[in-house]
């Protein structure tokens, strides 16, 4: 080993992926220790830092070329020692000149002062803040003013970020590509308009509203009306995830859905106000769509709303089938409702999507319109490899037995399905057609019944959900 040049030793060390193995290798000799210190680019620390600031300073001095750091205090208790505080971020900003990616999880001692220290990290391009409860919008603003290369920003449960001037400034920079805002109570759908020109650069948007606490500004008509007077260019958007959002007809986030010509993945979860017209526009514009996930409030399916234009119907699925010929992942789910047996999507609409598109993965939850006839139709679904059925109570053993005839099915997941028993899995036992079978909380399927039905089998039974 002593005869090997440094670049070959570097390559050897790069192939050691586990941190514990890297640490062991670095102790083999002084040369390995020195080269590992120079080569180490990522670091993940947390509750084990004690005293936190001093320990972090030693680590930063040992590894001078760090580009990615994650600090997490999940499960922290006071007896574990004081958390990293603002002084720790001061150490990072001065000791890690190449820092490009920083994640702070449950760092509750961090304040706006610490974020101001990070503003001097000119190479910082990705920042993820999860439950850093003491920071405010002022701290975020000082950070985005200093970090002109920030391309990814994730804010999760930052409850005191109550001003959005930083969004407007970020919009003017026109560099942000990945924006995630999750359960930040004071940031509503109407605030996103402040991104302005940056919509053109944005590739990934994830926005989730806390369903249990809605800040009143999301209902402010003036904030939403501003969307009518501004064009939202989203030609580079590839992924959208909207959860618990309000979709206003013809404005707000509805403006975004119909303008993403390069969109590949969309997830709409419990978004109130989504219409057929929104999904149709999306389908017509986003011909490159590969994955769609729809979780629809069951209230849309109540008999009183049968003629309500807000109700999604098969027209949405047919538009996707005719325009999105690259679609390979489809997830349709209905939330628990008072009348779960009524669905806004019929079996015909779902099967149209399966027949027209090369669907490789299909997941259905609480979709009572999908029954044994649907399972029979899947026998001709040539591309289908993964099938997940959750609370699909109209499927019986007769339909489940057809799974052995699906051309390319390799993964089957069943969860909380009441109508299937061990008999439904019998044709699969010993055939080893499936690579993986997962059965969870299906009351009439036993652990013995799943044995031998796939190369890899998992079984779990918890029937508390029924009572």
Residues 6+ apart with CB under 8 A from 341: 368
Strand intervals (E) in 322-396: 329-334, 361-365, 386-390
| For residues 285-301, average pLDDT | 83
* pLDDT attached to residue 254: 86
Cα angle vertex 320, ends 206, 416, to 5°? 70
Residue 407: φ, ψ to 5°: -55, -45
* pLDDT attached to residue 164: 84
The more confidently predicted of residues 150 and 49 is 150
Is-cis flag, bond preceding 106, omega within 30? Answer: no
Instruction: Check whether 28 has a pLDDT greater than 90.
Output: no
* Partners of residue 180 on adjacent β-strands: 154, 206
Instruction: Check whether 306 has a pLDDT greater than 50.
Output: no
Mean pLDDT estimate for the chain: 87
Q: Could you report the per-residue pLDDT of 193-218, keeping only the tens digit for each?
A: 889 889 999 999 999 998 776 544 44
Report the C-alpha gap between 410 and 43 in whole angstroms. 37
Question: To the nearest whole percent, how much of the chain has pLDDT over 90?
Answer: 62
Hey, what are 224's tokens?
């939403």
pTM for this entry: 0.87
| For residues 24-33, average pLDDT | 70
Q: Could you report the per-residue pLDDT of 214-229, keeping only the tens digit for each?
A: 544 444 455 556 666 6
* pLDDT attached to residue 224: 58
In the numeric block, the tokens 């999940």 are attached to: 74
* pLDDT attached to residue 210: 86
* pLDDT attached to residue 8: 75
| pLDDT band at residue 315 using 50, 70 and 90 as cut-offs | very high
Question: Of 390, 394, 387, 399, which is closest to residue 437 (Cα–Cα)?
Answer: 387
Report the C-alpha gap between 82 and 53 in whole angstroms. 9
DSSP assignment of 131-177, as one string?
S-TT--HHHHHHHHHH-TT--EEEEES-TT----HHHHHHHHHT---
Q: Could you report the per-residue pLDDT of 258-270, keeping only the tens digit for each?
A: 889 999 999 999 8
* pLDDT attached to residue 298: 62
Q: Could you report the per-residue pLDDT of 166-180, keeping only the tens digit for each?
A: 999 999 999 999 999
* pLDDT attached to residue 341: 42
| pLDDT band at residue 337 using 50, 70 and 90 as cut-offs | low
């Amino acid at each position: 080993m002593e005869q090997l040049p440094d670049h070959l030793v570097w390559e050897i060390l790069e192939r050691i992926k586990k941190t514990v193995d890297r640490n062991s290798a670095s102790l083999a000799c002084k040369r390995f220790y020195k080269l590992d210190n120079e080569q180490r680019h990522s670091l993940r620390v947390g509750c084990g830092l004690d005293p936190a600031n001093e320990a972090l300073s030693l680590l930063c001095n040992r590894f001078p070329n760090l580009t990615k750091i994650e600090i997490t205090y999940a499960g922290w208790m006071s007896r574990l020692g004081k958390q990293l505080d603002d002084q720790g971020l001061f150490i990072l900003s001065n000791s890690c000149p190449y820092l490009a990616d920083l994640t702070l999880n449950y760092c509750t001692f961090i304040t706006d002062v610490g974020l101001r220290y990070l503003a001097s990290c000119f190479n910082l391009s990705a920042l993820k803040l999860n439950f850093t409860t003491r920071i405010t919008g002022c701290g975020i603003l000082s950070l985005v003013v200093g970090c002109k290369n920030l391309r990814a920003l994730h804010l999760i449960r930052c409850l005191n970020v109550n001003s959005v001037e930083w969004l407007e400034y970020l919009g003017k920079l026109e560099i942000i590509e990945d924006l995630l805002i999750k359960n930040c109570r004071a940031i509503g759908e109407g605030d996103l308009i402040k991104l302005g020109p940056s919509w053109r650069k944005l590739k990934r948007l994830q926005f989730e509203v806390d369903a249990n606490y809605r800040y009143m500004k999301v209902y402010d008509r003036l904030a939403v009306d501003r969307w009518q007077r501004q064009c939202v260019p989203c030609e580079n958007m590839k992924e959208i995830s909207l959860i618990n959002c309000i979709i206003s007809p013809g404005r707000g986030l509805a403006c975004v859905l119909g303008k993403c010509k390069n969109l590949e993945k969309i997830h709409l979860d419990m978004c109130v106000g989504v219409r057929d017209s929104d999904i149709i526009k999306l389908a017509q514009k986003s011909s490159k769509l590969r994955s769609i996930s729809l979780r629809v409030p069951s209230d849309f399916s109540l008999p009183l709303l049968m003629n309500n234009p807000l109700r999604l119907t098969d027209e949405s699925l047919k538009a996707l089938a005719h325009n999105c010929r690259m679609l390979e992942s489809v997830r349709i789910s209905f939330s628990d409702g008072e009348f779960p047996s009524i669905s806004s999507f019929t079996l015909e609409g779902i099967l149209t999507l399966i027949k027209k598109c090369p669907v490789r993965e299909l997941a259905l939850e609480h979709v009572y319109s999908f029954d044994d006839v649907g399972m029979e139709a899947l026998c001709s679904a040539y591309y289908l490899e993964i099938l997940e059925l959750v609370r699909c109570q109209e499927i019986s053993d007769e339909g489940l037995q057809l799974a052995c005839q699906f051309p390319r099915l390799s993964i089957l997941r069943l969860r909380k399905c009441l109508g299937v028993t061990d008999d439904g899995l019998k044709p699969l036992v010993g055939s080893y057609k499936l690579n993986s079978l997962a059965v969870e909380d299906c009351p009439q399927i036993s652990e013995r019944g799943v044995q031998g039905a796939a190369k890899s089998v998992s079984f779990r039974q918890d029937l508390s959900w029924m009572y």
